[in-house]
Amino acid sequence: MNRHELSTEHADLRAAVEEFARTEVAPVIGDFYERGAFPYDIVAKMGRMGLFGLPFPEEHGGMGGDYFALCLALEELARVDSSVAITLEAGVSLGAMPLYRFGSDDQRKTYLPRLCSGEALGAFGLTEPGGGSDAGGTRTTARLEGGEWVINGTKSFITNSGTDITSLVTVTAVTGRREDGRPEISAILVPAGTPGFSIGQHYSKVGWNASDTNELVFEDCRVPEANLVGERGRGYAQFLRILDEGRIAIAALSVGLAQGCVDESVRYAHERSAFGHTIGEYQAIQFKIAEMEARAHTARLAYYDAASRMLAGEPFKKEAAIAKLIASNAAMDNARDATQVFGGYGFMNEFPVGRFYRDAKILEIGEGTSEVQKMLIARELGLPA
């Protein structure tokens, strides 16, 4: 991939998802959003398009594409709605990718085909009620007993964890102590419906209202020892790799929201009149929209660069953090400005920019806060940890 140009395959994919978002998602998603309902039909259509299998090999039921293809799809979906986009992002990056990167052959064979087809969703149980950004402070425990892991603990803010098609959650848990006394953290696969595994509260959220987010509770939940994902004690390192990749995906989603704000503002500037002129004729509005476009464009280049480095096998941790930081800021700033362009109508849920405004803030928090991104960038520059 050239860092600034799309291949024919990527361009065709982007165009196909753009049309899907415009014709299939945009006309109906507002109703799902207002009802807080999960859009099963839209997810099924995305599955049939192959979107959940984009970065996975055909041998696992995937499309044989790459991670950048996923990012392009996320950007186009988020131009219309972020709930649908985050459902895809979490299903691929957090649900299926840990199994693909670190799972056993049996785990891949059992779960990946249905995850790639969109018939099933996976989730990643990392965050805990008292943890937040301190993922190393995991309190959920798993002990071996009679060839089984016995899991106890609670996970918070877990996307795709409580839908009717959720098939598994991969959880991080303390499985022992290292020689230096630090916790040994491992990743363990828990199938949906396992006794002792229950869905806790379904959150009432500010945004992403058409996506699924729940608390997970484990009470003496038993799964086979073979459900360990990757090496014992490597769960923390594994999730860091998954989050590095996920930050590029969230940056792409953020760019989509930022660009969607531009799209809606340009359209409205042509339609809305005030004091005898369309508002687009006023320089104050023109300059505001121009700044919005500059933010979206700059953020897009940042995630393109991070994705190209990742696909080339080059170090990309710093670039992923930069992309996530810049893009989430752009999304938040553009959502605020788009709401201002729309005036009172921007505060109404019937207009997409109202939804964009509600959805934007979480992008500065999820998969690593803006403060965490700055910390990562500083470390990559060699500043003291």
Instruction: Convert the pLDDT of each residue in 336-380 to its tens digit.
Output: 999 999 999 999 888 899 999 999 999 999 888 999 999 999 999
Residue 90 or 134, more confident: 90
pTM over 0.85: yes
For residue range 263-285, what is the model confidence (pLDDT) as tens digits? 999 999 999 988 999 999 999 99
Catalytic residue numbers, as ranges: 367
203, 271: one domain: no
- Domain membership of residue 3 (yes or no) is no
Residue 134 has pLDDT above 70, yes or no: no
CATH number for the domain that contains residue 83: 1.10.540.10
Domain co-membership, 229 together with 272:
no
The answer to whether residue 4 scores a pLDDT higher than 80 is no
Q: What is the mean pLDDT of residues 105-129?
A: 96
Which residues form the domain of 144? Answer: 122-233
Closest CA to 260 of 93, 29, 52, 13: 29
Task: Kindly state whether residues 112 and 137 are assigned to the same domain.
Answer: no
CA distance 177 to 375: 27
Please give the C-alpha separations between residue 252 and each of 108, 133, 307, in angstroms, as whole numbers: 27, 21, 10
Same-domain check for residues 210 and 303: no
Examine the domain organization and report whether 370 and 242 are in the same domain. Answer: yes
Q: What percentage of the chain has pLDDT greater than the value 70?
A: 97
Q: What is the pLDDT of residue 349?
A: 83
Work out how many domains the chain is built from and give that number.
3
Percentage of the chain beyond pLDDT 90 is 89
Position 2 confidence tier, pLDDT thresholds 50, 70, 90:
very low
Please check the confidence at residue 111 and state whether its pLDDT lies above 90. Answer: yes
Rounded CA-CA distance 292/272 in Å is 19
pLDDT band at 1 (very low <50, low <70, confident <90, very high): very low
Helices (H), the chain: 8-20, 29-35, 40-49, 67-78, 82-89, 97-102, 105-117, 235-271, 283-311, 317-342, 352-360, 370-380
Inter-residue contact 234 to 244 (CB < 8 Å): no
Q: Is residue 146 a part of any domain in this protein?
A: yes
Comparing CA positions, the residue from 328, 182, 353, 137 lying closest to residue 249 is 328
Say yes or no: 188 and 106 in one domain.
no
- Neighbour count for residue 278 (Cβ, 10 Å): 14
Are residues 110 and 185 both part of a single domain?
no
